[in-house]
Amino acid sequence: MERLKSHRDFVAVLKRRRRVSREDIVVHYLMHDDVVTGDTATVQGCRVGLAVSKAVGNAVTRNAVKRRFRVLARKYESLLPESCDIVLRAKPSAARADFLSLEQQMASCFEAVKRKTASRQ
């Protein structure tokens, strides 16, 4: 799984307003066939970006949340469709959530993304 790195990629995903939400996580997603810009190269596979704001906590807390999200995204990436961009946004409550709860939410969100994208095709 690759990372979303540029601001333009993050904005492209967030602009589409397709999302799935749980108690501590919001998953914004964009299928690559949704991209209408002709100058971008076709990207294969999923790319993931993390958005953890200062509302979640101090730098140590935010980094811990990001580490958890990366581990869980790698674990459940097989649930995602072939070519999509995902932005995982942490709600402030994610800092206090236990790992098992985050794991269940991530699996549920990724499953919902798969279900929603399959119904569109």
Q: Are 94 and 56 contacting, i.e. CB atoms less than 8 angstroms apart?
A: yes
**52-91 CB burial, b ≥16 within 10 A, e <16:** beeebbeeebbeebbebbeebbeebeebbbebbbbbbbbb
pLDDT at 35: 54
Say which CATH number the domain at 58 has: 3.30.230.10
Task: For residues 63-67, give the mean pLDDT.
Answer: 97
Other beta carbons within 10 Å of 120: 10
Phi, psi dihedrals of residue 88, rounded to the nearest 5°: -95, 120
* CA–centroid distance for 12 within its chain: 13
* Local confidence band at 17 (pLDDT 50, 70, 90 cut-offs): confident
- The total domain count for the chain is 1
pLDDT digits (tens, 9 = 90+) for 32-58: 875 555 444 555 688 999 999 999 999
Task: For residues 99-107, give the mean pLDDT.
Answer: 96
Task: For residues 2-17, give the mean pLDDT.
Answer: 91
Average pLDDT, the chain: 89
Alpha-carbon gap, residue 57 to 38, rounded angstroms: 39
pLDDT at 118: 84
pTM of the model: 0.85
* Percent with pLDDT over 90 in the chain: 74
Task: List the domain range (segments joined by +) for residue 95.
Answer: 2-119
Task: For residues 85-99, give the mean pLDDT.
Answer: 96
* Local confidence band at 83 (pLDDT 50, 70, 90 cut-offs): confident
